[in-house]
Structure 1
Amino acid sequence: MQPTQPVWIVDGTRTPFGKFGGSLRELSVIDMAKQTLESLLARTRWRTDGIDELIVGMAMIEGGLMVPARQLAYAAGLPETLPTLTIDRACCSGMAAVGLGVRAIGAGARSALAIGAESMSQTPRLLHETRWGSKRGDLTVEDLLMLRNPLEGGVSIARSVGVEAQARGIGREEQDNWALQSHERYFKALAEGYFQDEVSAVATPNGIVEVDEQPRADTSIEKLSRLTPVYGGPTVTAGNAPGLNDGAVALMLAGEQALSDHAATPLAKVHSYLQTASTPTSSVYLPGVAIGRLIEEAGLSAADVSVIEINEAFAATAVVSTKALAGGDFALERELASRTNVNGGAVALGHPTGASGARLVLTAARQLRRSGGRWAVAAICGGFGQTDAVLIEAAQ
């Protein structure tokens, strides 16, 4: 989908990403998203009466939280006349919120808020039999955070990813090397002050949280190689996969008139947005396929894109996707890998499922401006064989 009028990424911000059961665990997802949204409105000085839609992407929805987007709008003091929408497209949810905001502006909206949020620490276990009672016998408790694929008979997603990666020539060593690189790049970017303008502090009952909790400065290839694969899979470990995380991201999208009315200098322009799907276990390579489609439809080649963000749902996802995008050209594959997740990815900083897609868009736009390039692309897999991707152009 290419918008019929220019759609601008005005600005964005995110919370620090918290560990599972870490410093953000006492915050409801509404409170966490509210603080992030308020930070964005304060830094943009955007008039709330000029916002036409609030779209919130969330994967777990805290096991039954009703209409989170509407609750967020009220919590943040937005006009009660503002239409809201909550969407669940699994890990793609935050990027799908951006895509729907782009569509809305293309159809005439002035500006839209796109939010991605997740509190995996507050995701409950489910006790299904209690609604109508159970005369005798054990009750079964389901843990949504086991992340199984119901389209594949409940097989662990981590196991399927490892199998698919191996089938495409990517083994444990490549995945561990990418995981180490993710941490190294994150800490380099942190030392250079890259995240100062991206992260907004969050107030919790136990104090202020200002930094991402998951990145491990002491990560080494020796430590990674000693870890045992999880869920009976061949390659995926706790070290080359992200954790279960908490976090929220807020982005302001605007059309030409709203941008002019607010005298705002945007981060970047959205060129096009794509959703695609394939087999239930295709997620490990599908971001590369989606990026290839986007840039081909824009008349570009992979070499034209200076910034690439691919969600590290697993390290394997980024490795296999860059390989797929290169189409068998080994030299190009290495070049693309050097441009992918240059400030670290989810293996290092975390993957709050509903928030990560929006985080990728924000990171890609900010890095594009930082690098001085013209084109950036972000892609994320999720939802048992689906992918969202966004092609971004530098603000002229």
Structure 2
Amino acid sequence: MTDLDPVWIIDGVRSPFGRFGGGLRDVSVVDLAQQTLRGVLRRADWSVDDVSELNAGMAMIEGGLMVPARQYAVAAGFPDTLPTLSIDRACCSGMTTVGLGWRAIRDGAHSTVALGIESMSQTPRLLHETRWGSKRGDLVVEDLLMLRNPLAGGQSIARTAGEEAVRRGVGREEQDAWAAQSHARYFAALSEGFFDDEIIPITTPKGDLAADEQPRADSALEKLAQLTPVYGGPTVTAGNAPGLNDGAVALVLAGSRAVGDRTPLARVHSYVQMAGAPTSSVFLPGLAIARILDEAGLTARDVDVIEINEAFAATAAVSVKTLADGDEGLAVHLAERTNMNGGAVAIGHPTGASGARLVLTAARQLQRTGGRWAVAAICGGFGQTDAVLLEAVR
């Protein structure tokens, strides 16, 4: 957590985030990765020969893709000698790739590429008990996209998130209001051209996809209030939670020696990981932000830009309340600075990719506002969380 070897985000890009079964459905995850990786190298004007390692985060590795990071590197034309690492920290995975790059560069690496990726449309069902045969009885087919928590008795993550939110004083109305705000802020940012330099088109068998598919321009509190909670939970609905999405995000990180006369996007000041009880994810990002700010000698009021993943609207709302620590005025102030261009409820949540998107969006928004400090945080992996603190280029 020192200033000994600054780490910089040179640039980053993301694919459009596709709906489940939408425009990216027929794009293999390897093809999605190679298009995104080639796109970020073009955007950053960075040579594959200058990359020290590729870290790739993906939450659905159990779907059957072997050593995905290595496959991505080869497909994108990286040298055969490039070390790669595949990471599964569920939704944290994309942000973890940024943290690992930060650590590697501080230890002397020239530059790294951080990739977060997911194709939920291509996640297969698992047919159990078939390896050695089954003489009698039913075969069990598991759908990984049901997103159950095996550390909480197999309960739906959506249900436990809603229960934890209610226990912490954030009910259905507040979650619906956050969801409606997410869409409104997204479309305001879209109209202002904020995403023009963030999204690159992806070539699919049916043509190029150039825009996010998940956002709903007609989202409104009245419509959200009519939806029934899912999986027997108290508050989480299809309207105040993101969809199942496809997408990829890539960033180039470099040390000061590699930057040269370039102007980076932002400085990665620090990175933290935390963990808690298996159902604590809904408030953990707030704790992670508090910790990373404290270690940097900052307070929540010092931060100009906050990105908290809307795994559910409840996650962002509860985490802001947690960070405010009982100060209602501070909570309002922080909410105004959180997800200013919309969040995952609007944009979508390709699980392995979202953490990297938060870092990219935070860096770009920090540059846009002219502020000094930005922080991004995400929960995932049955009670884990990551946070990244960024500083503006001065």
Amino acid at match of 2:302: D
Counterpart of 1:293 (choices 291, 294, 301) is 291
What SS class does the counterpart of residue 59 from structure 1 fall into? coil
2 CA distance for matches of 1:218 and 1:14? 25
CA shift for structure 1 position 50: 1.1
Q: Shift in Å at residue 264 of structure 1? A: 2.0
Note if 1:34 corresponds to 2:34.
Answer: yes
Which position in structure 2 is the counterpart of 1:319?
Answer: 317
Write the distance in 2 (CA, Å) between the matches of 1:269 and 1:393. Answer: 5
AA matched with 1:46: W
| TM-superposition CA deviations, 1:351-378 (whole Å, max 9, x none) | 0000000000000000000000000000
Secondary structure, aligned partner of 1:98? helix
2:119 match: 119
Aligned residues: 394
- Counting only pairs closer than 5 Å after superposition, residues 149-298 of structure 1 correspond to structure 2 as 149-260=149-260, 263-298=261-296
Q: Deviations over 1:46-101 (max 9, x none)?
A: 12111100000000026110111111111011111100010100000000011001
- Tell me the secondary structure at the aligned position of residue 78 of structure 1: coil
Instruction: For residue 265 of structure 1, report the CA deviation from its aligned partner.
Output: 1.2
1:8 and 1:253 in contact (8 A); partners too: yes
Q: How far apart, CA to CA, are the structure 2 residues paired with 1:3 and 1:167?
A: 39
Tell me what 1:342 maps to. 340
- Matches of 1:212 and 1:83, distance apart in 2: 32
Is the 1:62–1:122 contact (alpha carbons within 8 Å) kept by the matching residues of 2?
no
Hey, what's the Cα distance between the residues in 1 that align with 2:358 and 2:315? 14
**For residues 309-344 of structure 1, what are the alpha-carbon distances to aligned partners after superposition, in whole Å with 9 as ceiling and x for unaligned?**
000000000000000000100000000000000000
1-side partners of 2:277 and 2:177: how far apart?
27
Normalised TM-score (structure 1): 0.99
Equivalences for residues 137-156 of structure 1 within 5 A? 137-156=137-156
> Which amino acid is the alignment partner of residue 158 of structure 2?
A
Shift of residue 137 of structure 1? Answer: 1.1
Q: Helix, strand or coil: the match of 2:184?
A: helix
Deviation of the 1:4 alpha carbon: 3.8
**1:99 corresponds to:** 99
Q: Which residue does the alignment assign to 1:384?
A: 382
Flag structure 1 segments of 5+ consecutive residues without an equivalent.
none
Q: 1:3: how far off? A: 6.5
Q: Which amino acid counterpart does residue 191 of structure 1 have in structure 2?
A: S
Q: C-alpha distance in 1, partners of 2:58/2:2?
A: 24
1:201-229 per-residue CA deviation (whole Å, 9 max, x = no partner) reads: 00000010000000000111111000000
Identity score, percent: 72
Return the alpha-carbon distance in structure 1 between the equivalents of residues 71 and 184 of structure 2.
38
Secondary structure of 2:214's aligned partner = coil
Question: C-alpha distance in 1, partners of 2:3/2:13?
Answer: 24
Offset at residue 45 of structure 1 (A): 1.4
Per-residue Cα deviation, 1:144-203 (whole angstroms, up to 9, x for no partner): 000000001100000001100000111000000000000000000000000000000000
Query: Secondary structure in 1 aligned to 2:374?
Result: strand
Q: Which runs of 4+ in 1 moved over 6 A?
A: none
Kindly report the root-mean-square deviation, in angstroms, between the aligned alpha carbons of the 2 structures.
0.8
Indicate conservation of the 8 Å contact 1:97/1:114, yes or no.
yes
**In structure 1, how many angstroms separate the alpha carbons of the residues matched to 2:290 and 2:187?**
29
**Among 356, 360, 363, which residue is 2:361 paired with?**
363
- Amino acid in structure 2 at the alignment position of 1:281: T
Q: Hey, what's the Cα distance between the residues in 1 that align with 2:296 and 2:136?
A: 61
* Alpha carbons of structure 1 residues 2 and 127: separation in structure 2 relative to 1, 3 Å: farther
Normalising by structure 2, we get a TM-score of 0.99
